[in-house]
Amino acid sequence: MHLHGQWKQSTINNQQYVNSSYQPMTNEVAVSSLYDFKNKSHIKSIINNVSYEIGIKYFQELLLRFPDFYDNNKTFLIDLCELNDSIGNPPKIVFKDFTSCEPTDIRYIFHSALILEQMKTKNINNVNILEIGGGYGGLSFFLRKIAHLFDININSYTIYDLKEMSVLQQKYLEKMEFQTHTYQMDNYHFDYKDYFLISNYAFSEISLTYQKFYREIIFPLVSSGFILWNHMPLYNFIDKPLLIEKASRVPDNRLFNHANGLTPLTNFTLNSNNNWIEEVVVIF
């Protein structure tokens, strides 16, 4: 299936992210600073924002939820962290009984295991992934390196993001020798109609106008997905049954309040899990 086209800029408001602290990079910054981009203060808060304390919690959850995966592949996971950290000059911290790495590596490993586990529950062995908001490409790297441990083959990987971030993703993932398709809302193309959708934080942080684009243009081509929701109240963003897991600290109004006139999500399966670090995990 081939679908491509342009989304008219006049139909999109100027606010890409609801969070007004977001400041886009220039193409020059994204390209020229690849050697130390993980240490640049103006983009560090966007792509490398896991503190040591949160990193420890991710590490504890990794050991709790995936003990066999960790024990059987510890050396391999350390090698992946070292490879990822060899680019971008990230600040690193020692994790006891593991290695010295940037805390974001731990989150990527944990998220990869969660996502791949979800694919296995749906008997997905060959998958085309579409990610909304891909950071610098770190999750893409870890997913593709770890997938074979779950007997999953990733056929293709597509990322939708801002142009500046797409430039950074291409540079980083080319360095890692991965082929990746990167697109934006005014430059989109699809080769499949059965994507597995991933969006860790980004979809719930962008404006409703941008969400509408994804819902109308991309979501009809999505068969399953995994979204981390952390900003606006959750609503029925896709016409599929949703499984929700939320941290115990999340107030109910984060799930049941109206979101700017949209119908709130009121009928879903709720699995409270006190071990989650994420606020709301949406699986479909």
Asked, for residue 234, whether it belongs to a domain, the answer is yes
Asked, for residue 26, whether it belongs to a domain, the answer is no
Helix, strand, or coil (residue 70): helix
User: How many angstroms separate the Cα of 144 from the Cα of each of 15, 56, 113, 175, 198?
Assistant: 32, 24, 11, 14, 13
Domain range for residue 109?
A: 47-283
Please answer whether residues 17 and 154 qualify as being in contact, where contact means their C-beta atoms are separated by less than 8 angstroms: no
User: DSSP alpha helices (H): ranges in the chain?
Assistant: 27-32, 41-47, 52-65, 67-85, 103-121, 138-146, 163-175, 202-205, 208-213, 253-256
Asked, for residue 169, whether it belongs to a domain, the answer is yes
Residue 65 sits in a domain whose CATH number is 3.40.50.150
Residue 9 has pLDDT above 50, yes or no: no
Q: What is the pLDDT of residue 193?
A: 86
Q: How many folded domains does the chain comprise? A: 1
CA–CA gap between residue 24 and residue 163 (Å, rounded): 9
pLDDT digits (tens, 9 = 90+) for 78-135: 999 999 999 999 999 999 999 999 999 999 999 999 999 999 999 999 999 999 999 9
Q: What is the pLDDT of residue 276?
A: 57
CA–CA gap between residue 242 and residue 113 (Å, rounded): 20
pLDDT digits (tens, 9 = 90+) for 65-81: 999 999 999 999 999 99
Please answer whether residues 137 and 172 qualify as being in contact, where contact means their C-beta atoms are separated by less than 8 angstroms: yes
The predicted model gives 253-270 an average pLDDT of 46
Asked, for residue 16, whether it belongs to a domain, the answer is no
pLDDT digits (tens, 9 = 90+) for 211-249: 999 999 999 999 999 999 876 778 889 988 888 887 665
